[in-house]
Amino acid sequence: MASSKSSGDFGNLGFVRTAAVAPQLVLADPAANARHIIEGFDEHAAQGASIVLFPELAITGYSCEDLFFSLDLRRATRSALEEITAAVKDAVCVVGTPWLLDDGRLLNCAAVISNGAVRGLVPKIAQPNYGEFYEQRWFASGAGVNAEVTDDALGAFRVSANQIFRAGRARFAVEICEDLWAPENPGNRHALAGADIIVNPSASNELVAKADYRRDLVRMASARAICAYVYASSGVFESTKDMVFGGHMLAFENGLALAESERFQLQATSICADIDLDKLRHERMQNTTFTNAERPHTYHYVPTLADPPPLANLQRTYSAHPFVPDDERDIDARGGEILNIQATGLARRMLAANAETLVIGLSGGLDSTLAFLVCLEAVARLNRERSSIHAVTMPGPGTSERTLTSAHALCEHTGVRISEIPIGDAVTQHLKDLEHESETDVVFENAQARERTQILFNYANQNNGLVVGTGDLSELALGWCTYNADHMASYNVNASVPKTLIAYIVRWYAAHRAEPALAAVLERVLDTPISPELLAPDAQGDISQQTESIIGPYELHDFFLFHFLRGGADAYKCYRLAQLAFADRYDGATLRRWLGVFYQRFFSQQFKRTTLPPGPKVGTVSLSPRGDWRMPDEASVTRIVNEIAGFS
């Protein structure tokens, strides 16, 4: 059936668009600033932003100094706030303004405005009064302030830092500039009280290296509180008497950079960021440190926007290969880190078992090649000779000359011993004992896989060794392994490395660590079609059984796996995001077909994952039954598969 979610509104998939704007500023001229703020708000609301953030004291300018005491400026500020409030429709505006309490305290506030009314004023708590800052000269702290205001022009609202504002499905809160830099920042409390998004109107001046520190501060604030953090700092039109402001705009989501502006622009500066609320809430549910943290009390929950603007598109992009870094420098660092984790885990396991050898089934395919490289690294860490690695290649009815040659070449160019033990006769005898005649069915295929595993374990017993597993995360997700055969090992070094990432690591190793002769072999392996090689080669001797033509492209399955497990996405969201990421490669029918295969296999093959051998976790996604993933073997997937067929 076609889901109601197919309307094309990405808001239905949990996304909310936010914007941060540093408009043109006329210092100490609130009327002029109001016009610029309204222009910036209207522009971004028309683009689908639900929340539009402006800098600290944007109505007056941050650097007005003793003019904040001026009755003229306060009156003009009041008129400008009324003008902005009347103009704000269809989205939420968060804008910095001074506010004088009835008790005589002047506060540095952020006004939260929607649909022609102020919904709340959030006062700044920490006033910097060091170095170039003198805020305590003008403003009192908003700590403990909880005032109710009823105003004929602005509406009824509260002045308090402890407010959570609702905009459609989004819940957001405000902390102002120095509040983020304080030892105990209110943003963490806001997040624990339910805020998905923290917005920060700021006036942070530019100093050498301060932008790097500011960026790291916002990034870590978003990661620590498992929230989105949107930051808008004053632009270059503030006073330059003693400081220069750069208009730094930032948006992060749980440590992930979504948007950043160019600084020092002599015109209005802005960013847009589409925040994935459902992903944040999924992260929070899974993080017991977050869920068990003590919750703050005395918060006020304020509705601001019932129906956010629809999102017909997304302004964030999604990598087709989410497990693989986009930047070559990151690939270099990631490749070395993954190998370090794998090799250290294997070396430690070897010591614990008092094993003298590592026994690996070397097929000449991609997975066993990476596991072989891990073995090389592990014995090097233990200062052992490569003779402690025993590679075993076991050609059978489906083995091609290409992979057999690659297996031998890998060992030849690394000085590792290789034993060739053909399995054809043993499999034939076994099938004869079973009175089985077919050479194309699952019994024929699995008999080969189990024969190889039997040889490896018995060979390891014979040589006081550990059987090194080679199967990868993608195969475990799809159950593309034979139960109690390649499914089993003493220690599986590839257990949490997906297929797409394995290819990149092997390619990185060829480019950065291998001697030319070995690099050539690794490139040969990378160019070999992925296959279990359990059926006879074709008439030309080439591989006839290609995995991706049977179960679908691994790049799609890795994409689905990442967003399903890492982001908590449902099937429809996986489908829509795949449409964005693979727009130039797969049509909707193809995506639906393989998404259905992914869910069908992921659910039906859980029984294999329930009994996995140990292996090191190398990334944030793992299917270990002892670590990251537990589900019943009998869970039904019928409903989901039926829904996928109706996606449009």
- Express each pLDDT in 14-26 by its tens digit: 999 999 999 999 9
Alpha carbon distances (Å) from 235 to 63, 86, 133: 11, 25, 17
- pLDDT of 648 above 80: yes
Closest CA to 302 of 115, 141, 492: 115
pLDDT tier, 228 (very low <50, low <70, confident <90, very high otherwise): very high
- Using CA atoms, how far apart are residues 522 and 628, in angstroms rounded to an integer? 32
pLDDT for residue 397: 87
Q: Is 469 helix (H, G, I), strand (E, B) or coil?
A: strand
- Using CA atoms, how far apart are residues 119 and 154, in angstroms rounded to an integer? 9
Single-letter code of the amino acid located at 576:
R
Question: What is the DSSP code string of 279-317?
Answer: HHHHHHHH-HHHHTSPPP---EEEEEESSPPP-SS-SS-
pLDDT tier, 440 (very low <50, low <70, confident <90, very high otherwise): confident
CATH topology of domain 10-305: Nitrilase/N-carbamoyl-D-aminoacid amidohydrolase (3.60.110)
Question: What is the DSSP code string of 591-629?
Answer: HHHHHHHHHHHHHHTHHHHHTPPP----SS----TTTT-
Dig out the tokens for 201 from the structure: 């109107």
The answer, as to whether pTM is greater than 0.85, is: yes
Selected residue with higher pLDDT from 3 and 372: 372
**In the structure, how many helices (H) and strands (E) does the chain have?**
21, 20
Q: Which residues, in sequence order, are CB contacts of 168 under 8 Å at separation 6+?
A: 11, 16, 50, 305, 306, 307, 308
DSSP 19: E
- pLDDT of 533 above 60: no
Alpha carbon distances (Å) from 242 to 58, 132, 245: 19, 8, 10
User: Which residues sit opposite 109 in a β-bridge?
Assistant: 97, 123
pLDDT for residue 536: 62
Average pLDDT over residues 95-117: 97
E-only strand ranges, 277-415: 300-305, 357-361, 389-393
pLDDT tier, 439 (very low <50, low <70, confident <90, very high otherwise): confident
pLDDT tier, 327 (very low <50, low <70, confident <90, very high otherwise): confident
- Using CA atoms, how far apart are residues 419 and 361, in angstroms rounded to an integer? 10
> For the chain, what are the domain ranges?
10-305, 328-551
- pLDDT of 103 above 60: yes
User: Which residues sit opposite 523 in a β-bridge?
Assistant: none
CB 358 within 8 A of CB 390: yes
pLDDT for residue 2: 38
pLDDT for residue 626: 92
- Whole-number mean pLDDT of the chain? 94
- pLDDT of 45 above 80: yes
Selected residue with higher pLDDT from 537 and 457: 457
Q: What is the pLDDT of residues 478-496, one digit of tens each?
A: 999 999 999 999 999 999 9
Produce one character per residue of 254-271: b if its CB has 16 or more CB atoms within 10 Å, e if not.
beeebbbbebeeeebbbb
Average pLDDT over residues 502-526: 94
Closest CA to 488 of 363, 342, 369, 613: 613
CB 389 within 8 A of CB 356: no
The Cα angle at residue 273 between residues 556 and 305, in degrees rounded to 5:
115
pLDDT tier, 530 (very low <50, low <70, confident <90, very high otherwise): confident
| Tokens 């639906």, located at residue | 592
Alpha helices, H only, 513-587: 516-526, 547-551, 554-561, 571-581
% of the chain surpassing 90 pLDDT: 89
Do β-strands 155-160 and 146-151 pair in parallel, antiparallel, or remain unpaired? Answer: antiparallel
Question: Quick one: CA dihedral 441, 447, 452, 453, positive or negative?
Answer: positive
pLDDT for residue 549: 83
- pLDDT of 54 above 70: yes
Selected residue with higher pLDDT from 284 and 438: 284
Domain 328-551 CATH class label: alpha beta
Q: Is 223 exposed, middle or buried (0-12, 13-18, 19+ CB in 10 A)?
A: middle
Give one word for 194, left, alpha or beta, with left for phi > 0 and alpha for psi -120 to 50. Answer: left
Closest CA to 371 of 380, 383, 358: 358
Lowest mean pLDDT among 64-68, 529-533, 584-588: 529-533
Any idea which residues carry the catalytic annotation?
A: 56, 124, 177
Closest CA to 19 of 222, 309, 303, 319: 309
Closest CA to 501 of 342, 325, 332, 356: 325
- pLDDT of 541 above 70: no
- Using CA atoms, how far apart are residues 188 and 174, in angstroms rounded to an integer? 11
Give one word for 116, left, alpha or beta, with left for phi > 0 and alpha for psi -120 to 50. Answer: left
Q: What is the pLDDT of residues 338-376, one digit of tens each?
A: 999 999 999 999 999 999 999 999 999 999 999 999 999
Instruction: Give the sheet arrangement for strand 15-22, strand by strand.
Output: 146-151, 155-160, 117-123, 106-114, 92-100, 51-53, 15-22, 269-276
